[in-house]
Structure 1
Amino acid sequence: MLDQLRYIDGITIIDTSGTILFTVKFNPRFHAEIDDNEKIIGQNLFSAFPMLDEQSSTLFNVMKTGKPIYRAKQKIVDFRGVENETTNVSLPIKAHGKTIGSIELSKDISDDNRLLGSVIEIDSSSFNSKQLKAKIQPERAVYFLEDIVTIDEEMNQLKESVRKFAKGDSSVFINGETGTGKELFAHAIHNESDRSTQPFITQNCAALPESLIESILFGTKKGSFTGAEDNPGLFELADGGTLFLDEINSMPIHLQAKLLRVLEDRCVRRLGDTKVRAIDVRIISATNVHPAQCVRDGKLRQDLYYRLGVMTLAIPPLRERREDIRLLVEYFVSKFNKSHKKNIAHISRDSLEFLLSYDWPGNVRELENVIEYSINLADACDDTLQYHHLEKQIKHLMGVQQTFSSTKIKPLKDEIANLEKARIEQAIILTNGNVSKAARLLEIPRQTLQNKMIHYGINNS
């Protein structure tokens, strides 16, 4: 518990009725008089600290859930009207399988006198060396659930879900904006599973040209095309383990049909080969667009999604879990202090306020970029991350984001053509290549559909 906070300013213990059984405050800011500790022993927690209630009190929450809460921030006003802000480690107290109370260690993080409160201490010791080590290990999942740094309730629920379903073999579909940590969850699922000692193969489907993706996934037989050799595909390489397919919506539709067959039959056939090989692979797939939108846009076969999305994880963007920002800042400062040989121990208040207010369209990856940039700018003798360390990179990234936003709008005729092509492809798939049925489904003449298929280069195979 002490490792979480480095030092503590107070301890409080309550029973299930909320009665304060024990309290000690080491920091005079908490209690001005030496006998204040005795004054509140025996009182109800909410009488001694009227700002708290059962929803906001970490002490009460751990009794309700039976699970620890680490490094949660909390504002309190004591019975004298003195307001303080703390970060807490709260644990349930159990006996004979029942929760009988809770204990909380508190660290005062109210404005202190150091530089008139203009800087805030960074607690870099709460991240162990295992979390900060270089993650280079091919064909192995190197991230674990503990590497997903968060105090957000929804994120912790996702981590708990992973613990529950990771032991099975069901396919998992992860969606979330770019930079939210989809790959970390994929690694963690594998490492929580019974396949953890087996291969973990990752492939970004958007990073491969369409002409190569089939041979890379399924393998090749010598002589199947010019220069082809006997090579196993990713499914064979991942046999017994896990295959993570990122940006699955970038895979061509006709290959999605073949992928569906592999998932159904649990066997694979290399390009140009007649031999069928049995495989035992768990599939984790991911998109940075909601799967329903991918299906609507004709980027993901609906039947394939049903097979891939047996278990689903939707990772919230950083702007929806702002309480994680300070924790992540501490994590990245710790990481880059180590790798860049710096000694940053504080962050200026205006810097932290900006980081907390910014929307982070690039999510955690963008925050990491900003912190690494600012650590690089800091001098070896600096111990505080100042706003001027962050400012230039923040402005640059905001400019990049505006450029991206301005290029998203395409001419209306192009947007309509893309939509029309996607709908025709979808209709052809749904009718198994029957042009007459597809035309009836689209409510257009068969000849019109054939002309459009020629125009868009769509065949019915």
Structure 2
Amino acid sequence: MRVRDVMSPHVITLRPAMTLSEAADLLRQGSLDGAAVVDGENRLIGIVTKTHFVREMAYGPTPNRTIGEIMTTDVYTLQESETISRLQQNSNIFRFGLFPVVNHQNQPVGYLTRTELIKYLSDHSLYLAEELKAVLNSAYNGIVVTNAEGVITLFNPAAEAITGLDASKVVGQMAEQVIPNTGMQRVLETGVMEVNQQQTIQNSHILSNRSPIFKDNKLLGAVAIFQDITELQAVADELETVKKLKSTLESILESGFECVVVVDTQGKITMLNQAYCDFLGKDSKQVIGMHVADVIENTRMHIVAQSGKAEIAAMQRIGDNNVVVTRMPIIKDGEIVGAVGKVLFRDVKDLKSLVRKFNNLQSELEYYKEELRKVQGGKHTFESIIGGSEKIAWLKAIGAKAAKGSSTVLILGESGTGKELFAHAIHTNSPRRNEPFIKVNCAAVPENLLESELFGYDDGAFTGARKGGKPGKFELANGGTIFLDEIGDMTLSMQAKLLRVLQEREIERVGSTKTLKIDVRVVAATNCDLEQMIEQGEFRQDLYYRLNIISLHIPPLRERREDIPQLCISLLQKINNRTPHDVEGVSPDAMNYLLGYDWPGNVRELENVLERAVNFMDDDQFILPEHLPPVIKKQYRQRETTDSVKDLAGIRFDAEKQAIVKAIEAAGGNKSQAAKILGIHRSGFYQKLRKYHIDP
């Protein structure tokens, strides 16, 4: 509970220049005992109460005196976000009768009187006492509490049921007289806890824990918590029988040659016989209690224990051996309580048909386990991309239109601008949304492995190739979308192979002579200048034309600074979820620093800066300039200096850029007409567009 939840939001503010007569009228109309005095920016500078007026009247009527002459500047204010529990620990709250409540800018938002605060704390204490009483009365165990003299002060319903005594008759009596041999008096005398003490009360056998109650090293009383264990004795006898049966079963299982394992419903091993331990090279004492998947390779015991479906004559790879196993669920009273597995064959060398079947299934299993983990659908939509700037809104609209078709999309932009977010959104908003979305970072895969990674390979294609071959990313993305990130880092030889795939819509695995038709939409991204790379002979022009059917240029953060406040809100929510902090936002001063920074790392750098700031905060609710890294504060100071004494070149730069923008607006976006308005050649006009990063 915070101050804002209990304060009165009705606020009357006075100015220091107001006369006492004017202020008295305002107080009378609002029926308030006092009012906050604020400056021109509505910040609290003092307080005036009815006591001030009474004191003034005692010296004679002075209605023309101003509020500034009589106000009190010694004001104890409360922050609206301050918690009541923290406020309760502050002794200053009892020195004042009225507490103005202010926000983080020291502007009055409400008030709280000492009477209201004390009433709330009193009501809250009564509520906690009633809640504690309800908990004690609802407890299954019997609870008896005495004071320091041994007189019973609490006797809950469970204690009545166990002892057969009436609480109304025992409360106020000495515990030793009501319950013989209770031991409460001994605990009061020694101050030592007594645990697991057994005693008999009437026909019930009781197990009791008794503890002294201390506060500030002063003995206040004692408490006994006990339960009836009469029925537990029968359970103990039954348990002993079960233990004997378990021992017999274990002896039978240990005497056999077969490998046997038993797991519970959570997949944890409850029994692994010696034959299986020898086969695995494990110690039975160490594996009991471990998850079966951490002990036995490629096991499905935990799956059978959950599904209840038996698996007969299933094949499994354990070490260098291909084994055949049977897994059966253990069902008791219609419920699954675990599973038992048995190795039928430790070696299948002599069973050629089983070996062939095992190899096929094993290859498929490895393929699905490894590759299906990597097949993920798009995680983002255009609505989840943060930003309300004109450029981002335009890109979302173009991206949404591009998503409806199957044409190749090229996403350009600096690192950290959110190119992958747009790739996800295009897939999610496309008719292929229910098909695979495969991501490939062309810069992260070594050149000699990229071809097999993209197009796959056949069995025996090269040394170390997986038996049965492996499908490539294009094959996995069939029917869906493949996202080729960092396409500018691809070598020329790989560019040629990729171009053929885009033209022919078919792939050929490494080491294979067969082609496979594919239906894949390609979304590519890069932070490189592909046109410049084409001029330098580092990127194929024909591949560029194939990729550049639909182009999206994601602007850097410095060109859409108006999105920074909205991005901060979203990123702080994300940071609060993964850190033990609860930051409400960024202060206006700190936001000025963020807006003035150039952000070479873009949104990714912004998230890192906010997370760093959050980790440097103490109890602040808002990020302040001192929480920001030195590089941001340094650039902010440099920018202020530069803005105050701007050189002639900078003035000319701004003026020429502004003239171009206005000419484009006057021409309705027509670039040829804008060039005529400025009186420059069309080619020179385009050079200036690139120079000033203007996108008409």
Fold-level similarity (TM above 0.5): yes
Residues 117 and 168 of structure 1: CA distance in aligned 2, closer, same or farther (over 3 Å)? farther
Shift of 1:276: 0.7
Match of 1:221 in 2: 458
Code of the residue aligned with 2:398 in structure 1: it is S
SS in 1 for 2:391: helix
Q: Does 1:331 align with 2:562?
A: no
Q: Which of 350, 360, 368 is 2:607 aligned to? A: 368
Q: Would the aligned equivalents of 1:220 and 1:273 in 2 still touch at CA under 8 Å?
A: yes
Question: Whole-Å Cα distance in 1 between the matches of residues 399 and 472 of structure 2?
Answer: 28
| Structure 2 counterpart of 1:253, one-letter code | L
Decide whether the 8 Å contact of 1:176 with 1:290 is kept in 2: no
**In structure 1, distance between residues paired with 2:419 and 2:598:** 19
Counterpart mapping for 1:337-356 below 5 A = 337-356=576-595
Q: Per the alignment, do residues 241 and 297 of structure 1 end up closer, same or farther by CA in structure 2, a change over 3 Å counting? A: same
**Structure with the greater relative contact order (CA < 8 A, sep ≥ 6): 1 or 2?**
1
Does the 8 A contact of 1:203 with 1:245 survive in 2?
yes
Give distance in 2, aligned partners of 1:220 and 1:254.
Answer: 18
The answer to whether residue 548 in structure 2 is matched with residue 322 in structure 1 is no
**Counterpart residue type for residue 349 of structure 1:** P
Displacement of 1:200 in angstroms is 0.4
CA distance in 2, matches of 1:262, 1:396: 50
**Kept in 2: contact 1:370–1:394 (CA 8 A):** no
Answer yes or no: is the 8 Å Cα contact 2:416–2:603 preserved in 1. yes
Report the counterpart of residue 438 of structure 2 in structure 1.
Answer: 201
Regions of 4+ moved over 3 Å: 113-118, 392-398
The correspondence for 1:306, drawn from 529, 545, 554, is 545
The residue that corresponds to 1:382 in the other structure is 620
Return the offset for 1:171. 0.2
Select between 347-356 and 275-284 the one with higher mean Cα deviation.
347-356
Cα 1:382/1:116, change in 2 over 3 Å: closer
Q: Deviations over 1:285-316 (max 9, x none)?
A: 01102321232232321100111111110111
Shift of 1:394: 4.5
Q: For 1:39-438, list aligned pairs within 5 A.
A: 114-116=103-105, 138-229=375-466, 230-379=469-618, 381-392=619-630, 394=632
Partner AA of 2:567 in structure 1: L
Q: What is the identity, as a one-letter code, of the residue corresponding to 1:385?
A: I
**Equivalent-residue separation in structure 1 for 2:384 and 2:519 (angstroms):** 27
Aligned CA RMSD, in angstroms, stands at: 2.7
Partners of 1:375 and 1:318 in 2: CA distance:
21
What's the CA shift for 1:225? 1.2
In the TM superposition, what is the alpha-carbon distance from 1:390 to its structure 2 partner? 1.5
- What is the CA distance between 1:117 and its match in structure 2? 7.2
Report the Cα distance in structure 2 between the residues aligned to 1:376 and 1:137, rounded to whole angstroms.
33
Judge conservation of contact 2:609–2:629 (CA < 8 Å) in 1.
Answer: no
Residue 274 of structure 1 aligns with an amino acid whose one-letter code is: T
Per the alignment, do residues 384 and 184 of structure 1 end up closer, same or farther by CA in structure 2, a change over 3 Å counting?
same
For 1:237-262, what per-residue CA distance to the aligned partner results, in whole angstroms no more than 9, with x for missing partners?
Answer: 10000010011111110111111111
Q: Give the share of equivalent positions with the same residue, in percent.
A: 49
Distance in 1 between the 2:591 and 2:556 partners? 19
- 8 Å CA contact 2:593–2:633 kept in 1: the answer is no
Q: 8 Å contact 2:569–2:585 — kept in the other structure?
A: no
Partner Cα distance (2:567, 2:602) in 1: 11
- The Cα of 1:396 is off from its aligned counterpart by 11
Q: Distance in 1 between matches of 2:582 and 2:634?
A: 25
Name the CA shift for 1:310/1:195 in 2 (closer, same or farther; >3 Å): same
User: SS of 1:163's equivalent?
Assistant: helix
Query: What's the offset of the Cα at 1:115?
Result: 4.7
TM-score, normalized by length of structure 1?
0.56
Aligned length: 273
Task: Give the whole-Å Cα distance in 2 for the aligned partners of 1:369 and 1:157.
Answer: 27
Counterpart contact for 2:534–2:541, Cα < 8 Å: yes
1:191 to 1:274, Cα distance in 2 relative to 1, 3 A: same
Corresponding residue SS for 1:201: strand
Change (3 A) 1:389 1:157: same
1:160 is matched by which residue type in structure 2? A
Query: Which amino acid in the other structure matches residue 309 of structure 1?
Result: N
Indicate how the Cα distance of structure 1 residues 206 and 137 shifts in structure 2: closer, same or farther if over 3 A, else same.
closer
Distance 1:324 1:296, change over 3 A: same
Aligned-partner Cα distance in 1 for 2:416–2:497: 29
Match of 2:176 in 1: none
Give the counterpart letter for 1:384 in structure 2: F
Q: Please report how far the alpha carbon of residue 160 of structure 1 lies from its aligned counterpart in structure 2 after TM superposition.
A: 0.5
CA distance change for structure 1 residues 377 and 178 in 2, over 3 Å: closer, same or farther? same
Conservation of the 8 A alpha-carbon contact between 1:172 and 1:312: yes
Displacement of 1:222 in angstroms is 1.2
Please tell me whether the aligned partners of residues 175 and 291 of structure 1 are also in contact (alpha carbons under 8 angstroms): no
Q: CA deviation at 1:165?
A: 1.7
Maintained 8 Å contact 1:373/1:393: no
What is the TM-score when the length of structure 2 is the normalising length? 0.37
State the SS of the aligned residue for 1:206: coil
SS in structure 2 opposite 1:373? helix
Q: Is the 8 A contact 1:248 1:287 kept in 2?
A: yes
Provide Cα deviations, 1:181-220, integer angstroms capped at 9, x if missing partner. 0000000000010000111011111111111001101111
| Alpha-carbon distance in structure 2 between the residues aligned to 1:343 and 1:260 | 50
Q: Spell out, residue by residue over 1:337-384, the C-alpha distance to the aligned partner (whole angstroms, 9 max, x if none).
A: 2221322124222211100100001111100110111112223x3312
Change (3 A) 1:176 1:169: same
Flag the 1:397–1:185 CA change in 2: closer, same or farther, 3 A. Answer: farther
Residues 250 and 299 in structure 1, CA contact (< 8 A), matched pair in contact too:
no
Q: Which amino acid aligns with 1:388?
A: E
Amino acid at match of 2:521: R
Deviation at 1:116, TM superposition (A): 4.3
2: CA distance between counterparts of 1:116 and 1:278? 65
> Unaligned 5+ residue runs, structure 1?
1-26, 30-112, 119-135, 399-461
- Contact (CA 8 Å) 2:382, 2:425: kept in 1 or not? yes
Change (3 A) 1:362 1:168: same
SS of the equivalent of 2:383 reads helix
Q: SS at the partner of 1:147? A: coil
Per-residue deviation, 1:333: 1.2
Find the aligned partners of 2:570 and 2:559 in 1 and give their Cα distance: 19
Name the counterpart of 1:86.
none
SS at match of 1:353: helix
In structure 2, what residue type is equivalent to 1:273? S
